[in-house]
Structure 1
Amino acid sequence: MPPEEFADSSDKPSKDMPLPPLRASSSRSVDADIARLVQAGLQDLESRRQALQQEVEQLERRRDRIQAEMRTTFAGASQDLAVRLQGFKEYLVGSLQDLATSAEQLDLVPPEPKSSPPETGAYRSAAIPEPPASDMATTAFSIQRFEEQRERVRSLIDQYRTRPDYYGPPWQLRRTFETIHADRVSNWFFTQGGRGAVKSLGSRLQNVLVASGAISALYALYGDRLCTMVLANTPERLGEWRRWLQDCLGVSRADFGSNRGIMLFEVPESMVQRAERLLDNGYLPLLIIDESEDKLPLAALRFPLWLVFAPDPTNPIQDDYY
């Protein structure tokens, strides 16, 4: 090889020759820059995390405050209003249905004039007829000679207490019947003879359950002859009676009428007059008087079946819609 070529080849760097290492000062500068960037990023993330945590805490406090306000103001007021409106709605619908039924049954032919003058006064003590002897006899549960009827009622009450049928036919009790309910119904049947006051259980629903046990047993004995009449002094209370009687007895709105089934009254005079007509037509009225009634209509005591819920001073019913 010529010397010139040898010199040229020696001056060119070989491809396999490694690059010279970086200077130590340059490497430390790069590491410092990276550390500063990482530290700045961490500080930024930490500040963002703290800001987000503060916002979350503020939102949680706001949520708790709104929930507390809803529980104390909106929810309570709306629930009370809903209960009151629902009770009035059910009473109004039932009253309109009763009115329509009564209008269909009106006799447009004018009645013949009577020779005797009309009687006045809501409570006609002298004019109220005595219940027929047959009706009084068939409801005298406290008399020993009606042993067969007594045993049937005892069997029904025991069935309601020990073997409840939650899907039974209409007019059969469909709810749990505790011993306290059975004792009150048994005492009303066999000690008071189906005519007397029962101490309130402190809840209208519990009172309706006691009344439903009596109604169910009586319906098993008398069938469609039985006409239940409920007296309460406000539409809301009557709405509760309608709703819970439907629930306890499995009856429908069609079973609430003006001359059959279950009838609701706000005024005692109307209930007494209707009961008189039903009794004259061969039906058996059962008068049920709510605990809210502060005065017992004396004329109601003349009928063969009546059930009054006497208030318990130590445990009065609290009406939430007042």
Structure 2
Amino acid sequence: MNSEDPQNPEQEQDKNQAVKGLYNSQESNLPDQDRATPRDNSQAPDLPPISLTLSDHDKAKATQSSEPLQEDKVSQIKLGQSSDQAKKMASLAQTVAELEQKEQELRQRIATLQNHQQSLASKELETTQAVVERMILEGLTELEQRKQKLQISIEQLERRRERIREEMRTSFAGVSQELAIRVQGFKDYLVGSLQDLAAAAEQLELSQPPTETPRPALEEPPPPPTRGNPQFAEQAFKDEVRQIRQLLDQYRKMPDYYGPPWQLRRTFEPIHAEKVSQWFFSQGGRGALQTMGSRLQNVLIASAVISVLRTLYDNRLRTLVLANTPERLGEWRRGLQDCLGISRSDFGPERGVVLFEEPIALVQKAERLIKRDQLALIIVDETEDKISLSLLQFPLWLAFAPDPRQMYTYDDY
């Protein structure tokens, strides 16, 4: 290297450090005495001063000698780093291998658990199916047993019904009941016929014998016509008869299911109209009708009668219902509410409908109503075995007679 070339400050600094290192190494090679013992300037001869400045050639040698040392150190550092990296790589590879082994173990455990779970589920399903099948079989067996018992009970009841019917046809009680119904019907027919005959006789114009000397007499004014007790079978009540027939035709042909209270709101069949017409025109509003087979049908006929009389006499009419148990009276109350569109407030001692269990109380109530110039319509349930004779004195009463060919019990209602 030429000494005249300009040098970089960094290169100059490196050279100075190399010189200092060489100097320190030479000083370390000196004996300890030379370094520790100070020299006496008086004993030493005067020597010329030594110049410590290195020439350019020495500086170049020092620089060349320091470069291999630095390369060795760098190579040693690189070797150390490579060995550390190799150790780390080996440890990482070992960790990865351990993790893979653990993963395989976990996969095996998961597969084992899944198989165990499937086996448990299949066992539980089989157990549940077996229990359900056993319960179904037990239920079917129980139902079959109950069915057989019910069939046996039905057969016993049918045989009992046939035996009772046979006894009623052959025994004295059954024959007497049938005869009583026939006699009552014939009696009602005779009463109606006699009433018609009396009305026809009153309308006949009989010729009076001539008198030579007429006697002057004060003519009393005829009493004003008053609507007393209804007698629908007489010919004098043609207007009422026509109005009743119109109402029955209206109920049958044009039923009003949302009409005002006390008007019939149910379907009125021709058989019902025939029964009501028979009671009005053949029996004159006083008589018994054979039951329709159920209490609901009887309530429908009674509701039609009440609706017609309510139209004719308005608030003068009071309906008195006689039945021997509270349950049957409750059925009458619900049936009348449904057929006539009335409410519970219309039932009571001073209301439109009064319910009775004893005929004595009913008779007393009817007598009080007659004294107050009101009409009492008495309705007797078909379960009444005996009818009090005191009920027959009132102008309006309707009794439902049981059918002797059919046996009724309370459960039928």
TM-score (norm 1): 0.62
> Alignment identity in percent?
53
Which of 53, 61, 77 is matched with 2:129 structurally? 53
Instruction: Answer yes or no: is the 8 Å Cα contact 1:259–1:278 preserved in 2.
Output: no
Q: Distance in 1 between matches of 2:146 and 2:351?
A: 45
Matching of residues 154-303 of structure 1 within 5 Å: 154-303=245-394
Please identify the structure whose Cα radius of gyration is greater: 2
* Partner of residue 214, structure 2: none
Q: Distance in 2 between matches of 1:224 and 1:199?
A: 29
SS at match of 1:320: helix
Q: Distance in 2 between matches of 1:321 and 1:202?
A: 10
**Structure 1: gaps (5+ residues):** 1-37, 73-132
Q: Distance in 2 between matches of 1:177 and 1:43?
A: 71
Cα shift at 1:207 = 0.7
SS at match of 1:207: helix
- Cα gap change, 1:259/1:41 in structure 2, threshold over 3 Å: closer, same or farther? closer
Q: In the TM superposition, what whole-angstrom CA distance separates every residue of 1:73-116 from its partner, at most 9, and x where no partner exists?
A: xxxxxxxxxxxxxxxxxxxxxxxxxxxxxxxxxxxxxxxxxxxx
Q: Distance in 2 between matches of 1:156 and 1:285?
A: 21
* Partner of residue 21, structure 1: none
Cα shift at 1:299 = 1.2
Q: In the TM superposition, what whole-angstrom CA distance separates every residue of 1:186-217 from its partner, at most 9, and x where no partner exists?
A: 10001101100000112111111110010011
Cα shift at 1:320 = 2.0
Instruction: Answer yes or no: is the 8 Å Cα contact 1:196–1:308 preserved in 2.
Output: yes
Q: Distance in 2 between matches of 1:47 and 1:186?
A: 77
* Partner of residue 244, structure 2: 153
SS at match of 1:198: strand
**Structure 2: gaps (5+ residues):** 1-113, 150-225
* Partner of residue 409, structure 2: 318
* Partner of residue 98, structure 1: none
Cα shift at 1:303 = 0.9
Instruction: Answer yes or no: is the 8 Å Cα contact 1:202–1:317 preserved in 2.
Output: no
Q: In the TM superposition, what whole-angstrom CA distance separates every residue of 1:155-185 from its partner, at most 9, and x where no partner exists?
A: 1111112221111110001111122211111
Cα shift at 1:41 = 9.4
SS at match of 1:269: helix
Instruction: Answer yes or no: is the 8 Å Cα contact 1:174–1:249 preserved in 2.
Output: yes
Residue type at the aligned position of 1:177: F
TM-score (norm 2): 0.49
- Cα gap change, 1:262/1:48 in structure 2, threshold over 3 Å: closer, same or farther? same
Q: Distance in 1 between matches of 2:349 and 2:405?
A: 36
- Cα gap change, 1:281/1:314 in structure 2, threshold over 3 Å: closer, same or farther? same
* Partner of residue 93, structure 1: none
SS at match of 1:248: helix
- Cα gap change, 1:182/1:318 in structure 2, threshold over 3 Å: closer, same or farther? farther
Cα shift at 1:53 = 2.2
Instruction: Answer yes or no: is the 8 Å Cα contact 1:234–1:266 preserved in 2.
Output: yes
Deviates more, 1:39-48 or 1:246-255: 39-48
Deviates more, 1:38-47 or 1:210-219: 38-47
Residue type at the aligned position of 2:273: A
Q: Distance in 2 between matches of 1:239 and 1:68?
A: 38
Q: In the TM superposition, what whole-angstrom CA distance separates every residue of 1:280-315 from its partner, at most 9, and x where no partner exists?
A: 101000011111111111111111100011111223
- Cα gap change, 1:47/1:320 in structure 2, threshold over 3 Å: closer, same or farther? same
- Cα gap change, 1:151/1:316 in structure 2, threshold over 3 Å: closer, same or farther? farther
SS at match of 1:142: coil
- Cα gap change, 1:256/1:314 in structure 2, threshold over 3 Å: closer, same or farther? same
| Number of equivalenced pairs | 225
* Partner of residue 306, structure 1: 397
Cα shift at 1:52 = 2.9
SS at match of 2:298: helix
* Partner of residue 187, structure 2: none
Matching of residues 24-39 of structure 1 within 5 Å: none
Q: Which has the higher contact order (CA 8 A, sep 6+)?
A: 1
- Cα gap change, 1:66/1:212 in structure 2, threshold over 3 Å: closer, same or farther? farther
Matching of residues 8-87 of structure 1 within 5 Å: 48-60=124-136
Instruction: Answer yes or no: is the 8 Å Cα contact 1:135–1:284 preserved in 2.
Output: no
Residue 135 of structure 1 pairs with residue 228 of structure 2: yes
- Cα gap change, 1:227/1:316 in structure 2, threshold over 3 Å: closer, same or farther? farther
Q: Distance in 2 between matches of 1:251 and 1:317?
A: 29
Instruction: Answer yes or no: is the 8 Å Cα contact 1:203–1:317 preserved in 2.
Output: no
